[in-house]
Each structure stands twice: as C-alpha cells, then as structure tokens.
Structure 1
C-alpha cells in the first residue's frame, strides 16, 4: 500500500508543480501549506532532488522548482522513490524488500499500473507552467521589477543647505 511519506511526497511535488513558471516555492511555505515539519519536508525534498525531479535555489528568491517536465513525470516515478518493493521469496536479494503473497504482488502490480498511467500534468493546471510570473521582466534571472526611485527635493549636503539660505 501507499505510505504516508509517499502521499506527502506527491503533495509536495504537486505544490511545486502548481507554482507559476519562475516562482520557486520555499520550504517554509510548503511546510505551512502541507502542515509538515520542516525537517520531515526536507527529507522528502532531498530524495526528490536526488532523483532529478526538482531543483533548488538558495538565497533571496530561492526555493524549489520542477526540474522535470510534469507531462512526463508519472505518479509512480514519485512513489517508487519512497516505497519498498515486495518479493515472493527471501532468496531474491532485494535490499529492504518484504516477502509477500501472490495476492499482495498482484495488488502491487495493479497499483503500479494505475500510478504509471497518471502524470503530474493530469493533476495540476499545465497552463501555470507556461506563463511567466506576473510582474517579472523577461530576463534570465526573473527578478521582480525595482520600485520607482524616490528622489528627495532637499539639499543633500551641508554646503547646499548654506547656499539656499
């Protein structure tokens, strides 16, 4: 069956994938949205990043973004990172695998087929990936536009102040 960690991993990837293009999602925002501790979320993010599904950026404007095309990422691609495979006999040397019955193996195959048939693009709105974040310029860094510069209408030195009097 599907573990809680797999469920939260899928919710995490969907939260990241639903962000508009150029808008990374911070760990803090995901933690609050998914009601998870930051340390637990970071363990999920680390595994997803190691598999090349997401990427991260540090510093201001940093956070997590999709590194793979959601149209080609299946739910099974995420689930197999966190799920332990079932085997029929202990002679099979799968590390961490669980010995199971034919019924359990059949059930696992049905679940795997279903999850392989479902992509992330089917679960979130694809249009959000193609449109740039509102208010951003078309540069490669996608910085927010700077506010209009305020120029004071007062003397900027003691010498200019003495000249006004």
Structure 2
C-alpha cells in the first residue's frame, strides 16, 4: 500500500478462537493426501497462511469445522498452482483431472489423482447432513468452477 494512504475498514475484525491450533495442525491434511511432498513444499505452503484465511472466513468455526475450512483453502491453492506448469497448457490433461475431481459427486468412483482424492474427502465432509437439492446445487457450482480450468488451459494454448 502506498505511504500516506489511510484505509479505514468499518467492520470488526473477527477470527476463530481456534486459530492457533489450526495453524499448528494444518499441514497434516495436505500431507496425508500427498499434496505436500517435502519440507520445502511445506514451507512454501505455510507462507499462504491458509489457517488464518479460513479462521477469518469462518470466525465462529472451531475444531472439525475450522479444519474443513483450512483444508478447503489449502486445496484451492494447491489445485490452482498445479496448473502453473505444463499441465495448465494441455486442455486434454486438465479435462481428465477435472473429470477425476468431479467423480466425487457420484461417490462411486475412487479418484486416481491425489488432488482428486483430496477433493473427494472435502466433498464428503462438506456435504455430510446436507439435502439432496443442496448437494445438486453445490455440485453444479463446483462443476462450473472446475470447467473454468479447462477453458483457461484452452486459452493458454491459443496464445
């Protein structure tokens, strides 16, 4: 931010009271799913402050609820970063991964890619107790989000 500019945000800053615990433990889930392979990747991931992001997005969440938010933030950024390399310029490869991720909505397939298996876990945890109509709406929103990556890969290929 440029010097001399005062930014007033008229809202109370709120954060989950469980942030410290979430911060200590948040690498466990991406490691469990093979999304963070080594200590260098762990250090890079910690720089994203995903526990704090989730604790501010969900200031009343604690325990498993906050963990779900932290894991979702981790997944979003790890998934997005995956496309920064050669895969992100290959629409066919992206479409295959998106299909694998979306297999979570059917619940019958075992996803192959670690990002897809991790998403299946997030989907199961976030839809627990939700109605069929809620799940259908959420799946449609997720499909639109995921298909955006195929569109992006196609656009990169055209450059």
TM-score, normalising length from structure 1? 0.30
Q: Which has the higher contact order (CA 8 A, sep 6+)?
A: 1
User: Higher strand proportion, which one?
Assistant: 1
User: Higher helix proportion, which one?
Assistant: 2
Between structure 1 and structure 2, the one with the greater Rg is 1
